[in-house]
Amino acid sequence: MPVSETTDRQASNGGDGPALPINELFYSLQGEGKLAGTPSVFVRTSGCNLRCWFCDSYHTSWEPTHATMSVDDIITEVQSYEHADHVVLTGGEPLLHDDAVVLLDRLAALGYHTTVETNGTIHRDAPIDLASVSPKLASSTPTAETDPKGDGEWAARHDARRIDVATLGALADDYDTQLKFVVTDPSDMPEIESLLAEIRTATDTRIGDEDVVLMPEGTTHAELDARRNEVATLAMEHGYRYTPRLHVALWNDAPET
For the cut 80, the answer to whether the pLDDT of residue 16 exceeds it is no
Q: Domain ranges in the chain?
A: 19-251
- Average pLDDT (30-50) is 97
Residue 2, SS3 per DSSP:
strand
pLDDT at 19: 98
Question: Between β-strands 67-70 and 130-133, what pairing exists: parallel, antiparallel or unpaired?
Answer: unpaired
**Is the Cβ–Cβ distance between 235 and 242 less than 8 Å?**
yes
Distances (CA, A) of 198 to 131, 145, 163, 194, 222: 18, 30, 11, 7, 34
Encode pLDDT of 105-139 as tens digits.
999 999 999 999 999 999 999 999 999 999 999 99
Q: Which CATH superfamily is domain 19-251 in?
A: Aldolase class I (3.20.20.70)
Amino acid of residue 100: A
Global confidence as pTM: 0.93
Mean pLDDT of 159-188: 98
Question: From CA 103, how far away is CA 106, in angstroms rounded?
Answer: 5
Q: How far apart (Å, rounded) are the C-alpha atoms in residues 171 and 130? A: 10
Nearest alpha carbon to residue 230 among 214, 247, 210, 207: 214
Backbone angles phi, psi at 175, to 5 degrees: -140, 155
